Amino acid sequence: MKNAKILIKRGRVIDPLTGIDQIADVLIIDNKIQSVDTNIDLSAGPDVMEITAEGLVVCPGFVDLHAHLREPGFEYKETIATGTKAAVKGGFTSVCAMPNTDPAIDTPSMIEFVKMKGKSDASCRVYPIGAVTKGRKGKSIVDFLEMYSAGAVAFSDDGDPVYDSEIMRLALEYAGPLNVPIMNHCQDLTISPNGVMAEGEVSELLGLKGIPDSVEEVMVARDIALCKATGSKVHISHVSSAGSVELIRLAKSQGINITSEVCPHHLTLTDEAVLTDGGYFAASPGNAYDTNAKMYPPLRGESDVDALIHGVQTGVIDCIATDHAPHDVVSKHTTFDCASFGISVFETAVGSLLGLVRAQTLSLPKMIEALTIAPCRVLGDAFEEYGTLKEGTVADVILIDPDIDWVVDTKEFVSKGKNTPLEGRRLKGRVVLSLVDGQIMFDELEK
């Protein structure tokens, strides 16, 4: 649809940046948002595509600042091609690729590789996140300026936290002038190092080593202190505990420049999701647990979930990120102790989150804000054209049918990762159309 005119008619248009939430039309010309108005009259012609959006939500494309595309090194789990195809199916038009690849994304050449594969293979935009330390080993920092110049939009050692406080402080000093965040997976490696799920009644029932809340909260507190000391941007990845939410709230009330994210699964599932009567991915028929519910940070209790939802609704937690972590069957078809951490999220995120909207614990505009303009604010200048339907910005637009009922069937996933505890669950609402740069990359309107 290059250079075509696209007119999206009579949808509920929600754009948190401009404050729009009304029935309106959206006009796209030359792959840019031309206007949003209540009644745009455009003469029909061969260069005009009209899309009827009655009963649908029209909003900016989602921006995911934390996803695992697995390439290079783990292409049997996911590739940039398959991962981004799943992303646009879920409404994500920009995806940040985490650096836990093999080799790690810790040099300018690796940044260039991800960018090249993104241009040649991807269904949406792909932005590389560079490692904080060489090889993600936590011993010596990378050349931040060179990697930033090559295209890194943030830095993270991902699942391996920057556990050495002096290394973290140095990283913040070097990254600070670049105005990009250091994203840390907060995990004190000395507390419950062999834990596999949240510490509590369920872990005791199953006889599994628990991970207490303090594992996360100790390092969140440290990173807040380092953020205050350096003035650099610290972003807390996938917050999971009520204590972390409170620490972040207090830090923000003091003007500390810290941001954070939460995942759809930590907002919608508790540690009881680990319990099951068995299934295809369980270690053996009749097992008491579902290895697809093994993730890091772990699913926690109901009080933590309530605190996380409230944190998003009140703005204490800035945004929602998927932490899409696809795995092959073998990585999950084993004992709980041996199973890999992670969940495939792109294709279930909207359906899961809309359950919170229907329960009136999270408003639809706030949900969309947390998936669009909020992650753009965290990432900074490189994303100023995304996450909005403001006139003149890039036409990344999605349509959501909030009323469609569907059952999660991993055989229909386009991601290579079929690892989700939501298999067989009935969800309501999903993306039916995704436009990236004004071009239709996913279309299920006719189905």
Segment 231-258, tens digit of pLDDT:
999 999 999 999 999 999 999 999 999 9
Segment 352-365, tens digit of pLDDT:
999 999 999 999 99
Q: Which of 64, 158, 318, 323 is catalytic?
A: 323
37 is catalytic: no
Among the listed residues 359, 358, 348, 365, the one whose alpha carbon sits nearest the alpha carbon of residue 406: 348
Where exactly are the structural domains of the chain?
5-58+394-443, 61-383
Question: What does the angle CA 185 – CA 319 – CA 386 come to, to the nearest 5 degrees?
Answer: 115
Segment 164-218, tens digit of pLDDT:
999 999 999 999 999 999 999 999 989 989 999 999 999 999 999 999 999 999 9
Separation of alpha carbons 159 and 307, rounded Å: 23
Assigned CATH for 61-383: 3.20.20.140
Residue corresponding to tokens 């250091």: 182
Separation of alpha carbons 441 and 143, rounded Å: 36
Torsion of CA 257, 263, 269, 274, to 10 degrees: -110
Segment 21-47, tens digit of pLDDT:
999 999 999 999 999 999 888 776 668
Residue 295 confidence (pLDDT) above 50: yes
Helices (H), 80-180: 80-89, 108-121, 144-150, 165-175
Name 405's Cβ contacts closer than 8 Å, sequence gap at least 6.
426, 427, 428
Same fold across 5-58+394-443 and 61-383: no
Instruction: Label residue 342 left, alpha or beta by phi (over 0 means left) and psi (-120 to 50 means alpha).
Output: left
Residue 71 confidence (pLDDT) above 50: yes
Q: Which two tokens stand for residue 414?
A: 């386009």
Assigned CATH for 5-58+394-443: 2.30.40.10
Which DSSP string corresponds to 95-109?
Answer: EEEPS-SSS-S-SHH
In angstroms, the Cα distances linking 78 to 94, 326, 419 are: 17, 6, 12
